Chain A
Amino acid sequence: MLEHIFLIPILLGILCFFLPSRLGRGVLVGGGLATLAGASALWFGDQPGGGAYFQVTPEGQLVLLVVSFLFVLVTVYTLGYLRDAPIRREPIFLGCMLLCLGTMSMVALADHIIVLWVAIEATTLVSAPLILLHHSKEALEATWKYVMVCSVGIALALLGGFFTIMAMGSGNVDLSLTFHGLAGEAAAFDPSWLKAGFIFLLIGYGTKMGLAPMHTWLPDAHSEAPSPASALLSGMLLNCAFLGVFKAHLLMTAAGLAVFSGSLLVVFGLLSVLVAAVFIIQQNDYKRLLAYSSIENMGIIAFGIGIGGLAAYGAMIHLIHHALIKSSLFLSAGNILLGYGTKMIADTGRLARFQPRTAIALVGGFAGISGFPPFGIFLSELLIIFGAFQKGSYSSVAVLIFSLILIFAGASRSIIRISFSNWEGQMKIGENLPRIAPSWILLLTSIGLTVWMPEKMEQIIQAVMTAIGGSLHG
């Protein structure tokens, strides 16, 4: 039985709607820990065999661990956050957080083409109330865009799924419709249906993943959501959507069409990085800045997977570290928002003086996300760039490096402004331990994983790469 991993948080989430908020907070922590325990059991214990719908796959296992680990830290932050910034309908907030965790775990474990779609669409629906929470006009607008754009986008992914099933022809009635199951037989499938299917899957799940030009909802949703929810959307949910894109690419690779799907991924990836660069340079809202940075990093991951080989290895490492560092940054942004009461960069300053520990986390996280050692993104971006050189895609690497420089230039200006520039005024709310510790732990985990990666994790990443036909040596 695999299903208990996501059923527990889903049931607890529903329970939360009916509990008083004090009890609900306990349930939230319990649900997070239970899922982390379930995820770790998959890593260290025996792996239960999957059924027709759910299976343990290396990429799913990786994402599940990242998601459940991040969730526990975000809950700690949430407890501190709720103390300083009460939320009017707390049971709904807590319940939707848990439902979100449950549906995300479901995505990580689902391998059936349509069940994966059901799970990803469910994540959109349960996370929408999280964005709507403050009931401001901006939040309403962001939620409407989020639900409409993502639902319409993901609807196209369903069509892509049906096309992929059509590619099988009528011969293989007994084959189960899981991505890994189909991959074994994919060589015999009709390539034109497969290609059509992939395009729709990429557009659909790419919308949810935030790839340009389907990213329009992302900066709004991620900046209007309360900060713990932003961390959840940016650090965890995007990775789940990535799984959809990845599995589609896996099927294409098995069918011998990796060149087609890979080059599409490279194009969408580069476009995302470029778009992010343009908007980061002239950004004056720090939460939107972080949201665009998520688009950039999802673009880098898509680029790396599209190139394959060493770059795909880099992309998987990038996924882990982006999740860790970006969540940390959004949590720090939450502290800043509580302190200054505004999201405008121009109205902030001297964070190092007023919230020194948040300032360290912010600057550290910024160094991490820009690719400085000792953070893991240094390593992953280096691997992706080397991998692309190995494959001889010089022009696309040039575009990538150029955009990364622009992004660094744009973001550093804002981060320095927040941390050190002049600001006269009174902090509304200071920092406290439960709102500091999670972002520090996230950054330290990123450093730790850069210095020493557990052998088991190394094996899993290798297994992910073998699935898309790559290895460390090209």
Chain B
Amino acid sequence: MTATVGVLLALVFLSVLFSLSSHRLLELIRMMALQGIFVSLVPFLMETHEGFALLNFVLLAVMVFIKGAAIPGLLWLAMRKIQIRREIEPIVSYHVSIFIGLAIILTSVFVSHRMETVALSAHPLLLPAAFTTLSAGLFLLMARRKALTQVIGYLMMENGIYLAGSALARQTHTQYLVEFGVLLDVLVGVMIMGIILHQINDSFDDADTTFLESLRD
């Protein structure tokens, strides 16, 4: 199982780099769906307990569905409504973004090595992957102008935290109900962001956050 987890985590790294470089929103959303599926599979594959209970499988299915289908689906709907295909003129250009992505990976590896987690010694890639996803999400949020890309940045960040959290905490605690609550919040959050996005698009004729600068002191 360790090898599978390693492969999944490597794919997470790739998906992060790919989403930093892509300017088509559809590609970004597809990447998010894939990343969501990888991220929700990791903690289940790390499970050290013997055998798989039925409940685990049901929960796995629900999580994969929400992260891999429901949330990307909502994003896709929002994209269709506001009719934006690509992000033009990002605040930070795509080449620089990839470079920063690589820098983030290096820093994450460095930071994770300093943290010395005994419980995770079997999965050396886990913490670096989590920190990379988190920081890259935060970067995407700040480096792009379109509201939809910012939502994707938020989701990527959430994926990173989910990866860190559920994998770390699963070592000591199994609390599916609580994790489900977290996921529900994220889902509703994306829904509400989608609605606001739609309204921004209606009022400004474009869902670009550069218009949102009238309130200031």
Contacts and interface: CB of A to CB of B under 8 A. Distances in A.
A132 interface: yes
B168 A118 contact: no
A121 B161 contact: no
A168 B117 CA distance: 12
Interface in A305-336: none
B158 A144 contact: no
Interface in A397-442: none
Interface in B161-217: 161, 164-165, 168-169, 171-173, 175, 178-179, 181-182, 184-185, 188-189, 192-193, 196, 199-200, 203-204, 209, 211-215, 217
A347 interface: no
Given A151-B154, A165-B168, A141 B189 contact: no
A162 B161 contact: yes
A155 B173 contact: no
A279 B215 CA distance: 14
Given A155-B161, A166-B168, A173 B173 contact: yes
A170 B171 contact: yes
A19 interface: no
Query: Interface range on chain B: under 10, 10 to 19, 20 to 34, or 35 or more?
Result: 35 or more
Contacts of A128: 192, 196
Nearest to A220: B215
B74 to A, nearest CB: 14
B40 interface: no
B152 interface: no
Contacts of B184: 118
Contact of B172 (A158, A172, A283): A172
A138 B165 contact: no
Interface string B147-164: 100100010011001001
Given A143-B196, A159-B164, A137 B172 contact: no
Interface of B: 117, 119, 134, 138, 141, 147, 150, 154, 157-158, 161, 164-165, 168-169, 171-173, 175, 178-179, 181-182, 184-185, 188-189, 192-193, 196, 199-200, 203-204, 209, 211-215, 217
A141 to B, nearest CB: 4
A169 B120 CA distance: 11
Interface residues of A, number: 47
A288 interface: yes
Contacts of B185: 118, 121-122, 125
A286 to B, nearest CB: 13
B193 A147 contact: yes
Contact of A118 (B157, B173, B178, B217): B178
29 contacts: A53-B178, A112-B178, A114-B179, A125-B185, A125-B192, A129-B192, A132-B199, A137-B204, A137-B214, A138-B215, A140-B200, A141-B214, A141-B215, A143-B196, A144-B212, A147-B189, A148-B141, A155-B157, A155-B158, A155-B161, A158-B182, A162-B165, A162-B169, A165-B168, A166-B168, A170-B172, A173-B172, A177-B173, A288-B217
B175 A114 contact: yes
